[in-house]
Amino acid sequence: MAKLETTLQGNFDEILTRIQKGIMGGSISATMEDASDFSDGYSRCSVRVFERYSWIGSNRVSLSVTLFQGENGVIRLSAITSGGSQAMFFKFNTFGEEAFLDKLRALL
């Protein structure tokens, strides 16, 4: 599992669109598995779950991205990858997870 947490500046909708288009366009096997959006007053939250095939790891990896904007307008991002390991009881070969997260880093 790999994780990225950061604070962003800009327009919430533009950032979300850039992430979605960038992840989907970054790999022929990328899919958006599901999405969730909700708001309460001035606060907003969007969750996206992507999946793709990792040639490096010969497996599928997922990337969950959460964008949150509170009343103060600050946008926070949390992204977590999963599924890149081939072992039954411990994790090894997590290159695909890191590569998926690196794609997101490049978009930000």
pTM score of the predicted model: 0.84
**Residue 103: what pLDDT?**
85
Sorted by where each begins, the domain ranges of the chain are: 3-107
Tell me if residue 39 falls in helix, strand or coil.
strand
- For domain 3-107, the CATH superfamily is Kinase associated domain 1, KA1 (3.30.310.80)
Each residue of 13-62: pLDDT tens digit? Answer: 999 999 999 999 988 889 999 999 999 999 999 999 999 987 766 678 89
**Residue 86: what pLDDT?**
60
Q: Can you tell me the distance from the alpha carbon of 5 to that of 66, in angstroms, rounded to the nearest whole number?
A: 10
The per-residue b/e assignment along 75-108, b for 16 or more CB within 10 angstroms, e otherwise, is bebebbbbbbbeeeeeeeebebbbbbbebbeeee
**Residue 15: what pLDDT?**
97
